[in-house]
Structure 1
Amino acid sequence: MLKRLISLMAALLLIVTITVAQPPKGPANPNAKYGAGATAPGAVDASKLPGLLKNDTGKLAVKIQAKVLDVCPKKGCWMKLQVNDSTTAFVKMKDYGFFVPLDIKGRTIVLDGVAYQHVTSVAEQRHYAEDAKKPQAEIDAITEPLKEYRYTASGILVLQ
């Protein structure tokens, strides 16, 4: 009886995990909102992030506008944003509480949340490269920690 109960609970947990861990249905159309949502007024261009953060190690609540360069192809749980021609920002969703559609890649969005600088370990970089289905040679070439801009999004609005 106990084995049956444990098996039932494990199956239920698996079903809930599979159901919850999916990107939203439908396309990322203009005016679509995710998480707590966001509004466009007051958003600063992502290119301002380096100046806003300078060499600070703290977190800054800021609303930004940026183009999405990449998105987690598994379930839309992270994104890479264009900051400028040579810099990106890595975005995670607050408390892993929402995901974005996979077709958000290439769209311009507004994000409400917190920006900060972060040193990403080799292991974490490799994990995200595996999520993005990068070639093994590219994954193996990751050998140094990476200082990068990070953003924790509480809400997102698709502009275009």
Structure 2
Amino acid sequence: MKKIFFALLIITVATFTHAQPPVGPATPGNIYGEKTTAEDVVPLTDVTKSLSKIDTIQTKITGKVLASCPKMGCWMDVELADKSKMFVKFKDYAFFVPTDIVGKTVVLDGLAFTKTTSVAELQHYAKDAKKSKEEIEAIKKPQKQLRFLADGVLVVK
């Protein structure tokens, strides 16, 4: 009986400690994940130059959120200064962002890198974003993407 109770306790704690989307709107000044500031933001050109020489770079970058996982806020597409898109996930899924963050300008603090994303993963995110069946089925090739693993996100405006 004690073993069953202990197992149920562990399952309950694990369920409630799993990251959930934050309650409330994404407003300027809100920070999700580790504390960060808008100081020392690196220009995109510096990041892309560095990524041509090394695999990953610890950096701070800013952009406008174009899309976010509508279910839990577990990923974002961010438009950068050069109008390119960057796919953002959150370190260890330890935090998510509010689902109304789309349209906000954010500062991202974490690791930038490039990744070739599989067709299956691209289709998964398209399904999450509630794309049409035709749009999902049109994804036929892997895609090299600029990615970001955020330790912290600051809503700027």
- Range into which the TM-score falls when normalised by the shorter chain: 0.7 to 0.9
How far has the Cα of 1:136 moved from its partner?
0.7
SS at match of 1:44: coil
Q: Which residue of 2 aligns with 1:32?
A: 30
Identity of aligned residues (%): 46
Alignment-mate amino acid for residue 78 of structure 2: L
Query: Quick check: 2:67–2:77 contact (8 Å CA) kept in 1?
Result: yes
Q: Aligned match of 2:118 in 98, 115, 121?
A: 121
**Structure 2: gaps (5+ residues):** none
Q: Distance in 1 between matches of 2:135 and 2:12?
A: 32
Query: Quick check: 1:70–1:80 contact (8 Å CA) kept in 2?
Result: yes
How many residues in Structure 1 have an aligned counterpart in Structure 2? 155
**Structure 1: gaps (5+ residues):** none
How far has the Cα of 1:13 moved from its partner?
3.4
- Normalising by structure 1, we get a TM-score of 0.85
The reply to whether residue 68 of structure 1 matches residue 33 of structure 2 is no
SS at match of 2:15: helix
Alignment-mate amino acid for residue 144 of structure 2: K
Alignment-mate amino acid for residue 51 of structure 1: K
Which stretch shifts more, 115-124 or 14-23? 14-23
Map residues 7-156 of structure 1 onto 2, 5 A cutoff: 9=8, 13=11, 16-17=14-15, 20-46=18-44, 48-54=46-52, 56=53, 58-83=55-80, 84-85=82-83, 87-156=84-153
Q: Distance in 2 between matches of 1:18 and 1:77?
A: 16
How far has the Cα of 1:49 moved from its partner?
3.7
**CA 1:30–1:93 in 2, change beyond 3 Å: closer, same or farther?**
same
Which stretch shifts more, 107-116 or 37-46? 37-46
- What root-mean-square deviation, in Å, do the aligned CA atoms of Structure 1 and Structure 2 show? 2.4
- Normalising by structure 2, we get a TM-score of 0.87
Which stretch shifts more, 102-111 or 16-25? 16-25
Q: Distance in 2 between matches of 1:101 and 1:135?
A: 23
